[in-house]
Structure 1
């Protein structure tokens, strides 16, 4: 659906009200828009910033009627919102990224097959539709693999690393519990990589695009722990990463903000791990270190406004506050110790329930040099380890 640019005063809809939805909402409000947040969780952080708030189930017809009458354009904060709802809304107003893009991204098998068909580099993979096929798929690779649910998994959930034959039976048992749901799985060879990289790509409806600097991501237990911006890589690798990322988003016909996650292999070859059709945790540093954040870009792309510049004002390192980390910085003493580190900017998400593995906030450290920012982030990690 084509549209004239939407100016301030229009109401934008966002499906999902977690921290990404909250940051989008705040960026939109700052630009003069109203925001309707729809998230079935009444405690979702974005509800507290919304102009209008909907906490009914996504399948609720009355909520759909009210929401659809209110909004002039719709986006989403993560890829597990119902694609069918996005399709329905797209008959009324622009939905960016589109439901068609969302369907490709939501299913890891469809995503990998799409990228492979476009000639884009991805790890070797195999499709499993029955748990009995798992052992054969693992043996066909002849090396360590990771088995993932085709849909719905994130932050290490729905994933089973298989490094030795003994791991197969345990993974197969887990898969059997999911058979009644009609699940499918993808088995990928474990990649011997040097580092994990990501690139934020912003693309407008007219094909205009912006690419943020390539960053390095470091994970713990499948969850992003730290992002270093910019990544300490050669200019050749950075150029290659940006080229691959842009090609992927253009192939999708994507409009909005996308994060393309990459593995840098020995020899500097790159493989696409996954694509997120939305702002990404690894782009949170843009809130403090760039002239225009990834969330403002999401607003601009959704509304058909000119995209912003992506200038990095300062090297930055972002550290996620995961689970009970938040308790260590929420006290006056802990918060004081953290904010005493030069260049620290604290973002707490306002989530009421603390759970292991749940992202509760993040801290961005700015400095004159990347090494200095990394040193400040190390001080933070020491505080969290106490």
Structure 2
């Protein structure tokens, strides 16, 4: 059984990460800079994160033997994605392991209806929404919200997957079936000016640190580029900081969180969704801040003081999707650009293979 975690966790300790993708890889690299070893639990042996970690346990996330092996190595475990099976967290906690962020954050983020309810109760406004478990309920929800409206599966789905527009209320049952006949949530459209996001962190002592806002641009549901710090009014920045603090404190959160926002015409911010982990829209911090989101997350879960979050430069982050990764020589030749590649073996269409951060000059 794992030794009981004592905070702050000293260098030389081993941190566990559930998930071996690019976020796990960058977390492992940040942990190594602080003197930690990392153990990855991941179904695939040759994952990007495993190749930069001290230990790799190959197994399903809910495999009792794999979880026991992880617990024997690590007093503290975190994760790189929000669809971690709840049973995995329960088993780890039962084995005496600290898991951060905690079970409440996972439960909220894994169900879009629960997420919207939680956000509204925490004082973080969202668009109007209605859950539906049947085709008939979906039609009624579309009538109540008004069409067009957006239908999303309540669980899973990311980068634009698991969602479709309902152009007319009468179309809702067919859209419901097209999404797999699973419980869904319908959302009123947001007539937003632009999409923003805020990356924030909360330490084990309750301290909160918030990064400057990023302005984000998506194509086909996938993030293409972020520019940060976004040009926003001081009131908008303060509004985002309040939302972040309310969400983090209501969750009793430990670690970094990504909060996607809609900026409305009148300046009001609505929360689109939260991600209880480091986030694609925070990659700019690697080259734009003294302490990036990955180191910040490790600091938080290890019980270290949070680092500074102010920006040193304006950065444009561009995702490299699929075969675009082959353009790395072009970006590597640009003195103002920093290349971050994920080490994935196969460049599939739309797959995130890396990103570049282009420094756009002083603030």
Give the distance between the partners of 1:196 and 1:268, measured in 2 at CA: 12
Specify the SS of the correspondent of 1:324: helix
1:90 shift after superposition: 2.0
Structure 1 runs of 4+ off > 6 angstroms?
A: none
Matched, 1:349 2:342: yes
Query: Which of 8, 11, 21 is the aligned partner of 1:18?
Result: 21
Unaligned runs of 5+ residues in structure 1 are 330-334, 371-386
Specify the SS of the correspondent of 1:236: helix
Matched, 1:363 2:359: no
1:163 shift after superposition: 3.0
Specify the SS of the correspondent of 1:42: coil
1:86 shift after superposition: 1.1
Show the counterpart of 1:246. 245
1:118 shift after superposition: 2.5
Give the distance between the partners of 1:101 and 1:68, measured in 2 at CA: 21
Show the counterpart of 2:135. 131
Specify the SS of the correspondent of 1:317: strand
If the length of structure 1 is used for normalisation, what is the TM-score?
0.89
Give the distance between the partners of 1:173 and 1:93, measured in 2 at CA: 41
1:144 shift after superposition: 1.7
Instruction: Check conservation: 1:14, 1:21, Cα contact below 8 A.
Output: yes
Cα distance change of structure 1 residues 236 and 113 upon mapping to structure 2, 3 Å threshold: same
Instruction: Check conservation: 1:24, 1:299, Cα contact below 8 A.
Output: yes
Instruction: Check conservation: 1:150, 1:185, Cα contact below 8 A.
Output: yes
Matched, 1:83 2:86: yes
CA deviation string 1:197-249 (max 9, x = no partner):
11111101111111000111110001111111011111111111111122111
1:283 shift after superposition: 0.5
CA deviation string 1:152-210 (max 9, x = no partner):
111011111223457546413313xx34xxx3111001100001111111101111111
Show the counterpart of 1:155. 159
Cα distance change of structure 1 residues 142 and 271 upon mapping to structure 2, 3 Å threshold: same
Cα distance change of structure 1 residues 119 and 288 upon mapping to structure 2, 3 Å threshold: closer
Unaligned runs of 5+ residues in structure 2 are none
1:369 shift after superposition: 4.6
The number of aligned residues is: 359
Alignment of 1:226-245 (within 5 A): 226-245=225-244
Show the counterpart of 2:206. 207
Show the counterpart of 2:52. 49
Specify the SS of the correspondent of 1:7: coil
Instruction: Check conservation: 2:139, 2:170, Cα contact below 8 A.
Output: no
Alignment of 1:130-279 (within 5 A): 130-164=134-168, 168=172, 170-175=174-179, 178-179=180-181, 183-279=182-278
Alignment of 1:55-70 (within 5 A): 55-70=58-73
Query: Which of 39, 53, 59 is the aligned partner of 1:36?
Result: 39
Instruction: Check conservation: 2:193, 2:264, Cα contact below 8 A.
Output: yes
Show the counterpart of 1:313. 312
Give the distance between the partners of 2:168 and 2:350, measured in 1 at CA: 26
Matched, 1:106 2:103: no
Cα distance change of structure 1 residues 2 and 189 upon mapping to structure 2, 3 Å threshold: farther
Give the distance between the partners of 1:302 and 1:25, measured in 2 at CA: 13
Show the counterpart of 1:382. none
Instruction: Check conservation: 1:84, 1:99, Cα contact below 8 A.
Output: no
State the superposition RMSD in angstroms.
1.7
Give the distance between the partners of 2:40 and 2:119, measured in 1 at CA: 32
Give the distance between the partners of 1:219 and 1:166, measured in 2 at CA: 29
Give the distance between the partners of 1:61 and 1:244, measured in 2 at CA: 37
Query: Which of 330, 334, 339 is the aligned partner of 2:332?
Result: 339
If the length of structure 2 is used for normalisation, what is the TM-score?
0.95
